[in-house]
């Protein structure tokens, strides 16, 4: 795959991810409650898009660096992809605090290495790759006053927690049901 093709795939994957996230958000206010089937399909698309985004970024990174890379950064790539794999397979509690889930989405959580690594890599990369995926909010996002109220609402409907969506990370979309 050429560098431009990789970049196009990258941009497409990011766009699809952004669209999917906005659909997931919108489905919270849908009449009749969250639809399990639809949410499952959305999360599958997001997962594909995320995987393709990462693999195309890796390709981009490999193509961008003509000169030999330091051993450290190579292994960081591998660590990052293997960590996102293990994240998916780790069993996590089905019900969780709403403010915890907001942080997860915002990328603040320490176990979410995906959002930490780009910043690290860019220092070594001579700034060719953007520091962080721009479809995600900044890592330092705080709960805005409006979101605070929303998180409180989520907390109040948590009982039974069958169908209210409390998290947006891919692993946690479905356990919210």
Partner 1 sequence: MAGPGGDMQWCFSQVKGAIDDDVAEADIISTVEFNHTGELLATGDKGGRVVIFQQEIENKSQPQFRSEYNVYSTFQSHEPEFDYLKSLEIEEKINKIRWLPQKNAAQFLLSTNDKTIKLWKISERDKRPEGYNLKEEDGRYKDPNTITSLRVPVLIPMDLMVEASPRRVFANAHTYHINSISVNSDEETYLSADDLRINLWNLEITDRSFNIVDIKPANMEELTEVITAAEFHPHQCNTFVYSSSKGTIRLCDMRASALCDKHSKLFEEPEDPSNRSFFSEIISSISDVKFSHNGRYMMTRDYLSVKIWDLNMENRPVETHQVHEYLRSKLCSLYENDCIFDKFECCWNGNDSVVMTGSYNNFFRMFDRGQRRDVTLEASRENSKPMQVLKPRKVCAGGKRKKDEISVDSLDFNKKILHTAWHPQDNIIAVATTNNLYIFQDKVN
H runs (alpha helix) in 2-70: 3-27, 36-64
Site for partner 1 in 93-112 (CB under 8 A): 94
| Cα–Cα distance, 139 to 155 (Å, whole number) | 23
CA–CA distance, 162 with 177 (Å, rounded to integer): 4
Which string of DSSP letters, residue by residue, matches 97-154? -HHHHHHHHHT--TT-HHHHHHHHHHHHHTT-S-SS-TTSPPTT----HHHHHHHHHH
What is the rounded CA–CA span in Å between residue 156 and residue 153?
5
Which one of 76, 135, 150, 177 is in contact with partner 1 (CB under 8 A)? 177
Q: Least CB distance from residue 28 to partner 1, whole Å?
A: 11
Residues 33 and 39: their CA atoms lie apart, in Å, by: 11
| Interface pattern 37-66 for partner 1 (x via CB under 8 A) | xx-xx--xx--xx--x--------------
Number of residues that bind partner 1 (CB under 8 A): 35
CA dihedral 45, 159, 141, 169 (to 10 degrees): -20
User: Minimum CB separation from partner 1 for residue 137, in Å?
Assistant: 21
Q: How far is the CB of 126 from partner 1 (least distance, A)?
A: 31
User: CA 143, CA 149: separation in Å to the nearest integer?
Assistant: 10
Question: Among the candidate windows 11-19, 64-72, 114-122, 128-136, which touches partner 1 by CB under 8 A?
Answer: 11-19
By the rule CB under 8 A, 145 interacts with partner 1: no
Q: Tell me which of 21, 36, 63, 129 binds partner 1, using CB under 8 A.
A: 36
Q: Which stretch binds partner 1 (CB under 8 A): 29-37, 64-72, 77-85, 131-139?
A: 29-37
Q: Which residues bind partner 1 (CB under 8 A)?
A: 12-13, 16, 19, 23, 31-33, 35-38, 40-41, 44-45, 48-49, 52, 91-92, 94, 156-157, 159-160, 162-164, 171-172, 174-177
């Amino acid at each position: 795959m050429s560098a431009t093709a990789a970049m196009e795939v990258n941009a497409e994957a990011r766009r699809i991810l952004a669209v999917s996230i906005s659909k997931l958000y919108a489905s919270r206010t849908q009449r009749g409650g969250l639809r399990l089937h639809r949410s499952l399909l959305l999360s599958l698309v997001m997962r594909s898009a995320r995987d393709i985004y990462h693999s195309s970024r890796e390709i981009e990174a490999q193509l961008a660096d003509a000169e030999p890379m330091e051993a450290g950064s190579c292994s960081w790539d591998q660590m990052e992809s293997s960590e996102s794999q293990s994240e998916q397979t780790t069993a996590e509690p089905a019900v969780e605090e709403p403010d915890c889930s907001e942080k997860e989405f915002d990328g603040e959580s320490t176990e979410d290495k995906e959002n930490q690594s780009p910043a690290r890599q860019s220092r070594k990369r001579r700034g060719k790759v953007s520091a962080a995926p721009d479809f995600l909010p900044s890592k330092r996002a705080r709960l805005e006053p409006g979101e605070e109220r929303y998180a409180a609402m989520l907390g109040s409907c948590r009982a039974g927690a069958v169908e209210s969506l409390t998290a947006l990370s891919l692993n946690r979309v479905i356990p919210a049901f």
